[in-house]
Chain A
Amino acid sequence: GAVVSQHPSWVICKSGTSVKIECRSLDFQATTMFWYRQFPKQSLMLMATSNEGSKATYEQGVEKDKFLINHASLTLSTLTVTSAHPEDSSFYICSAQRESYEQYFGPGTRLTVT
């Protein structure tokens, strides 16, 4: 149990376009999902907390109008990178929280903006 999927696994887009990344909990319901960004050889940086049915909570320094998060159901959260630029290129990982504490991570999405 506790399987989290993420789609797509990698995407290449042109500067100025938008990209949507999906995060799904496959075998459990997750009232809370999290979105992280990870640069090469670095730790995970929390971008935002996504709660089902309510607005996401963004970490300081993360532009909410650029990184749109929607948590429409207990098994799906989406992250849309709007007007992407090369500096947005990164590894984006979601996690879903099960029960009281445990977070399980998706496989990540490698975004390259050209």
Chain B
Amino acid sequence: GENVEQHPSTLSVQEGDSAVIKCTYSDSASNYFPWYKQELGKRPQLIIDIRSNVGEKKDQRIAVTLNKTAKHFSLHITETQPEDSAVYFCAASIGAAGNKLTFGGGTRVLVKP
């Protein structure tokens, strides 16, 4: 089955700096890659996703890049703010409706004011 690895497990950045989280996946058939943000005690929230037919997607301060050949994808957060502090999870899935997500281990991001 699919295996997703996520690095780093913790990331501390100064407010205003950029943060980058990287994930690799094992199954070349995976074609959907979402990123979730989870604050302490709360639900994971979908913040951005990318499908395998594009290489990059951006939404304000958040961007995701995908390298299908190398089987890795990354989350980039620019101009970080204290409210960006949370745990971020990457995931991968194969196919369309009804296909399960395989999650990475998570990255705990701390933005220091």
Which residues from chain A sit less than 8 Å from chain B, CB to CB? 4, 31-32, 34, 42-44, 46, 49, 51, 93, 97, 99-108
Contact indicator A103/B43 (Cβ below 8 Å): no
Contact indicator A103/B96 (Cβ below 8 Å): no
Which 9 residue pairs are nearest across A and B when measured between Cβ atoms?
A105-B43, A32-B98, A100-B96, A107-B43, A101-B32, A43-B103, A105-B44, A44-B103, A43-B105
- In the docked arrangement, what's the CA distance between A15 and B1, Å? 34
Whether A100 touches B97, Cβ cut-off 8 Å, given contacts A43-B89, A43-B103, A43-B104, is yes
B40 to chain A, nearest CB (A): 10
- In the docked arrangement, what's the CA distance between A43 and B103, Å? 7
SS class, residues of chain B in contact with chain A: strand
Q: Which residue of the partner chain, among B49, B97, B106, contacts A97 with CB atoms under 8 Å?
A: B97
